[in-house]
Amino acid sequence: MNKAIRISVVAGILLFTSCANDIKNKKEGPVSNKPNVVLCGNVLTAEEQAKLTPDAVLKDLKEGNTHFVSNSLSPRNYPEQARKSHTGQFPEAVILSCMDSRVPVELVFNKSIGDVFVLRVAGNLVNDDMLGSMEYGCKVSGAKLILVLGHEHCGAIKSAINGVKMGHITGMLKKIQAAIDKSSGFKGEKSSKNDQYMDLVCLNNILLTINEIKTQSPILKQMSDEGKIRIAGAIYHLETGTVEFLE
């Protein structure tokens, strides 16, 4: 066998082997050296929820935020969780958040399907519908914690400070005026361009919302006084993803 023939034979063998491997990979899928990741498909049960305390739920949310900040969220089997929760839900908390798209509530606390009730409205404000939802979440469905979650650089607070008036936005922003009034003692420029002033109004808005929940809902106040639930506040920091709890 001369040299040219030997080269042709070797090339043919290599080509056949390559094609065979391609066919095998297409059938079996790409090979990965990564270890298998176990996806969590569990959801909270009524028994598990009943054993929770308000303080334990608050601690759980804090730990969940630590996972979010460190980019170590729990891997989830969402279809499995959806199937397991389709006949009922037993969340541990009700979270009143702003509608801001930069505040992904469940992710921020490393939570998933069936874990928390989430109420969202610009400026994390409270009204009759929100109060009714909170009463349902706690009194009827057994949640142990209400968390009012504000965030820095809130557009609703900025608009309220700037006196924006537009359609239904006007009436909504009036509800933030109490927080602006409460911040009147601020020493510095009272402007939406001043981050420190914005932060103070944000803080006062959360505190006033908590007080409003307690004063406008005898049901939730009684549950809070009896230690059956806890009503707390927190501020989400956009740049770091950290939730600062107000305690």
Q: Are residues 100 and 27 in the same domain?
A: no
Q: Are residues 103 and 209 in the same domain?
A: yes
pLDDT value of position 76: 94
- Distance in angstroms (rounded) separating the CA atoms of residues 154 and 97: 11
51 within domain boundaries: yes
pLDDT value of position 228: 98
**CATH number of the domain encompassing residue 139:** 3.40.1050.10
146 within domain boundaries: yes
Q: Are residues 11 and 127 in the same domain?
A: no
In total, how many domains does the chain have? 2
148 within domain boundaries: yes
Q: Are residues 155 and 234 in the same domain?
A: yes
Q: Are residues 10 and 95 in the same domain?
A: no
pLDDT value of position 194: 97
pLDDT value of position 35: 55
* Closest-CA residue to 229 (of 52, 43, 39, 71): 52
39 within domain boundaries: no
- Distance in angstroms (rounded) separating the CA atoms of residues 199 and 150: 10
162 near 110, Cβ under 8 Å? Answer: no
Q: Are residues 68 and 163 in the same domain?
A: yes
Q: Are residues 14 and 76 in the same domain?
A: no
List pLDDT tens digits, range 104-126.
999 999 999 999 999 999 999 99
Give the residue numbers spanning the domain of 131. 46-246
User: For the chain, which ranges sit under pLDDT 70?
Assistant: 1-36
Q: Are residues 15 and 80 in the same domain?
A: no
* This prediction's pTM: 0.85
40 within domain boundaries: no
pLDDT value of position 70: 98
How do strand 93-97 and strand 243-246 relate by DSSP bridges?
unpaired
For residue 37, the Cα-to-chain-centroid distance in whole angstroms is 23
pLDDT value of position 25: 41
Q: How many CA atoms lie within 13 A of 243 on its CB side?
A: 30
Q: Are residues 50 and 26 in the same domain?
A: no
Q: Are residues 145 and 231 in the same domain?
A: yes
Q: Are residues 103 and 66 in the same domain?
A: yes
pLDDT value of position 38: 79
Q: Which tokens in the block code for residue 68?
A: 């979010």
pLDDT value of position 247: 75
183 within domain boundaries: yes
